[in-house]
A and B are shown apart, each in its own frame.
Chain A
């Protein structure tokens, strides 16, 4: 089996799982709704029905692209860093500080500086968990989960007590950024913000990074077989740290792009689980950058569909979440089928000497 064919089977499986999950969703709708067809049509057709809805889909997809990329990179290295949520808060926060407290430089310098600060924030915060894993083999799932909470809570403290804009009242936020720094909308009728360009650029960059550079080759190899990588002289620990740092940088970008494009400032708790959604996106995309772009759009499409469905019928939008969960499970299970199939192919080809049959088959 060559790589192209393997990829094709993968994609077919994912599409199949997606269809299956949506069908399950329909079944649920039929069961709970008094106006099932209204609900289904709002859900499916609503997001595409006008320019405004379509642009909402795209705007929602933008941060998901970044977090999806963040997770895809780190998953390809077989590191289970769940820290995108915390990293995007730290990155967004760092970028916000750069936006508000750096003055006197022209816009065309200021904006890249903001982005850089956001990336740096994410990189450094991500590096913490990376170093802990590389140095002491500390389980990265737990450390990143815990660090998420640390980031969320501490940035919340800072925005509530130190950097709070006095005019903000109940919902803490910093002062609004200069209008020139914000990401402009494409047009009045199609209010997608310029972050879309950054997102697409990020997809291309990550693609090039993973498949066309040295570090990408090492990263993917460590993820696929770290013993082989070590045998070849690759410093696996360093690759682990680098992968988490790249992931952190991308997550930081997610944060700042969302702030610059949608909110206009740093708002307390501005992320509604974007980091965790990134996990699902990366899974659906099988960790491939182009797949991330498509999955993010699809995922956002489901979310907006759910919102519209809630507005126009009697089904609440959490149904979209249920579909997303089913999607994840089906996709993961089918990934497993593919893997098991591959194992079967391999086993047939292996001529065993003494036969390495395990004695734990009872």
Chain B
């Protein structure tokens, strides 16, 4: 590990940063960050804690509502990425910004190519290749400058991104969730490179939620929670458990009135389900669990650990690469989306604006997505408009959708109201299995309460509810049992007793603990 920095100079100071967006969301509510030269500083926090906003502010992509930034002792306010880069900052994004058909060296120098010829119109390719070869040698980041980026592995692509910032003279390098897409071996190589950079005098800010890595590589840690800095400390003075407690502790718990219920028979049963994500990276690894009628099974976990893929596999939007999804004695794997929906499975998708609703259609058209095909609502090839309208009006009333009429365009509804439309549609078919994915994201308090009550109501009626949420308080308040996804694996299944604490769940969410494989009911 790099040298400890009690006496080192302060390179970057972000003081009391506040950022409130025009619609009222407060993403940063007083963040303090102090980074010393030559250290590896870890910035940790859950989704929504304010890390990305803070970095956007640093790079000039957003302006803070208040607060100051001092770089090398001088107050600065960067006007944009180019400006920040010029001052020696560099950011390696989580989602790479490369041009696939260009070579490694072309990508590295893109926008700042060495030139020659009159008016500097031509590429000085010799100088370019020489400079890049030198750069590669100097930092020991092994790459072939002439390789086409498309052919590189993920770890190699990341090295290109790192070289990009080094080429432009960055001294303070920010790595945003760099290990999210790396294999363990690539992670080791990355850490090796980071340590070598720091030994040469560079400073690293390492944004992550993987605490094992934080403990392994960082010198100091700043913990963000709910838009504030909770604490900054030396890594050697703390433990994973403590960090987790700081990250995950709640100030307010939304508790819903919930009676004890005896869960019924198994409705949904996953056995050894595996799947890959859009990029071909394994997203689910051998996941098995049961959900019974009359219970809420909550899936907790930091976003990006396989939750999206899990829901997609069950609802048919993604094909599993292995395993079985049994619903009332039928295997759902291989069935079409329409078939699955018609089996009385409700799905509240995590992205209501693209997948959950059609914003340019009317509320009515959004509500009737499942029923327009049913005999009761059509006459031959024709739609029974009258009946459909009645249905829509009834649904809007029952689910308290605040709108002038069912003819209103869905896009003009507020987040909460739109979500109610989605929920109305999914609940209307009296599902035996309800899958709710981030059901209250971006929704106002009043609607949140309503939605929670509806979920519990369905559970009381005997529906099996699979609740996926990044909001731990929501999981704890609604679930009877809680499963935790970490890195695509189901690392724990816990009963939601009074003794269960967020910290405990946090340990599983952050990869600190891992339960024995007892995830299924007897």
* Residue from the list B27, B80, B354 in contact with A228, Cβ < 8 A: B354
| Contact status A227-B355, CB under 8 Å | yes
Smallest beta-carbon distance B169→chain A, Å: 19
- B262 contacts chain A at the CB level, 8 A cutoff: no
A19 to B442, CA, bound (A): 44
Smallest beta-carbon distance A346→chain B, Å: 6
- A351 contacts chain B at the CB level, 8 A cutoff: yes
Closest to B55 in A: A359
| Contact status A232-B341, CB under 8 Å | yes
| Contact status B349-A2, CB under 8 Å | no
Given A2-B404, A231-B349: A349 touches B415 (CB 8 Å cut-off): yes
Segment of B140-148, B294-302, B376-384 in the binding face: B376-384
Closest to A232 in B: B369
CB contact list, A310-362 vs B, under 8 A: 342, 345-346, 348-355, 357, 359, 361-362
- A23 contacts chain B at the CB level, 8 A cutoff: no
Q: Which residues of A contact B378 (CB under 8 A)?
A: 214
| Contact status A351-B442, CB under 8 Å | yes
CB contact list, A178-214 vs B, under 8 A: 208, 212-214
Smallest beta-carbon distance B428→chain A, Å: 13
- A290 contacts chain B at the CB level, 8 A cutoff: no
Q: Which residues of B contact A213 (CB under 8 A)?
A: 381-383
Closest to A346 in B: B411
Residues of A within 8 A of B (CB): 1-4, 6, 208, 212-215, 217, 220-221, 224-225, 227-235, 342, 345-346, 348-355, 357, 359, 361-362
Q: Which residues of B contact A231 (CB under 8 A)?
A: 315, 317, 337, 347, 349, 355-356
Q: Which residues of B contact A214 (CB under 8 A)?
A: 372-373, 378, 381-383
A348 to B415, CA, bound (A): 11
- B196 contacts chain A at the CB level, 8 A cutoff: no
| Contact status A355-B408, CB under 8 Å | no
- B52 contacts chain A at the CB level, 8 A cutoff: yes
For the A-B complex with A2-B407, A221-B369, A362-B82 known, give 20 more contacts whose Cβ atoms are closer than 8 Å: A2-B408, A212-B385, A214-B382, A221-B358, A224-B361, A230-B337, A231-B337, A231-B349, A232-B341, A233-B336, A233-B337, A235-B338, A345-B411, A348-B23, A350-B23, A350-B353, A351-B444, A354-B27, A354-B47, A357-B61
Q: Which residues of A contact B461 (CB under 8 A)?
A: none
| Contact status B25-A353, CB under 8 Å | yes
A348 to B315, CA, bound (A): 32
A237 to B465, CA, bound (A): 32
- B56 contacts chain A at the CB level, 8 A cutoff: yes
- B479 contacts chain A at the CB level, 8 A cutoff: no
Q: Which residues of B contact A233 (CB under 8 A)?
A: 336-342, 370
Q: Which residues of B contact A346 (CB under 8 A)?
A: 359, 411-412
A233 to B429, CA, bound (A): 15
Closest to A233 in B: B338
Q: Which residues of B contact A359 (CB under 8 A)?
A: 56, 61, 93
Given A359-B56, A362-B80, A362-B81: A349 touches B359 (CB 8 Å cut-off): no
Smallest beta-carbon distance B421→chain A, Å: 12
Residues of B within 8 A of A (CB): 21-25, 27, 47-48, 50, 52-53, 56, 61-62, 80-82, 93, 315, 317, 336-342, 347, 349, 353-362, 365, 368-370, 372-373, 378, 381-383, 385, 404-405, 407-409, 411-415, 441-444
Q: Which residues of A contact B373 (CB under 8 A)?
A: 214
| Contact status B407-A357, CB under 8 Å | no
Q: Which residues of B contact A361 (CB under 8 A)?
A: 61
| Contact status A3-B409, CB under 8 Å | yes
| Contact status B317-A350, CB under 8 Å | no
| Contact status A228-B382, CB under 8 Å | no
Smallest beta-carbon distance B489→chain A, Å: 26
Q: What are the 8 closest A-B residue pairs judged by CB atoms, nearest first?
A: A233-B338, A225-B358, A232-B369, A2-B408, A228-B358, A233-B337, A233-B341, A224-B360
A348 to B413, CA, bound (A): 11
| Contact status A355-B21, CB under 8 Å | yes
| Contact status A3-B442, CB under 8 Å | no
Smallest beta-carbon distance B113→chain A, Å: 18
A345 to B23, CA, bound (A): 12
Closest to A339 in B: B360
A3 to B364, CA, bound (A): 11
Smallest beta-carbon distance B171→chain A, Å: 21
| Contact status B407-A3, CB under 8 Å | yes
Q: Which residues of B contact A348 (CB under 8 A)?
A: 22-23
Closest to B354 in A: A227
A348 to B24, CA, bound (A): 10
| Residue contacts A-B, CB under 8 angstroms, 24 given | A2-B408, A3-B408, A220-B361, A221-B361, A221-B369, A225-B360, A227-B354, A228-B358, A229-B358, A231-B349, A231-B355, A232-B338, A232-B369, A348-B22, A349-B415, A350-B415, A351-B415, A352-B21, A353-B25, A353-B48, A353-B441, A355-B27, A359-B61, A359-B93
A234 to B22, CA, bound (A): 38
Given A227-B355, A362-B81: A232 touches B412 (CB 8 Å cut-off): no
* Residue from the list A217, A230, A345, A354 in contact with B372, Cβ < 8 A: A217
* Residue from the list B27, B338, B356, B382 in contact with A212, Cβ < 8 A: B382
Smallest beta-carbon distance A134→chain B, Å: 15
| Contact status B61-A1, CB under 8 Å | no
A106 to B368, CA, bound (A): 47
Q: Which residues of B contact A235 (CB under 8 A)?
A: 336, 338
| Contact status A2-B61, CB under 8 Å | no
A212 to B405, CA, bound (A): 19
Closest to B352 in A: A228
| Contact status B356-A2, CB under 8 Å | no
Smallest beta-carbon distance A236→chain B, Å: 10
Most A C-beta atoms less than 10 A away, residue of B355, B356, B360, B415: B360
Closest to B83 in A: A362
A55 to B345, CA, bound (A): 58
Q: Which residues of A contact B341 (CB under 8 A)?
A: 232-233
Most B C-beta atoms less than 10 A away, residue of A227, A228, A342, A349: A228
Q: Which residues of A contact B365 (CB under 8 A)?
A: 217, 221
Closest to A342 in B: B411
| Contact status B359-A225, CB under 8 Å | yes
Closest to A222 in B: B358
| Contact status A230-B317, CB under 8 Å | yes
Q: Which residues of A contact B412 (CB under 8 A)?
A: 1-2, 345-346, 349
A4 to B362, CA, bound (A): 10
Q: Which residues of A contact B24 (CB under 8 A)?
A: 351
| Contact status A232-B47, CB under 8 Å | no
Smallest beta-carbon distance B461→chain A, Å: 24
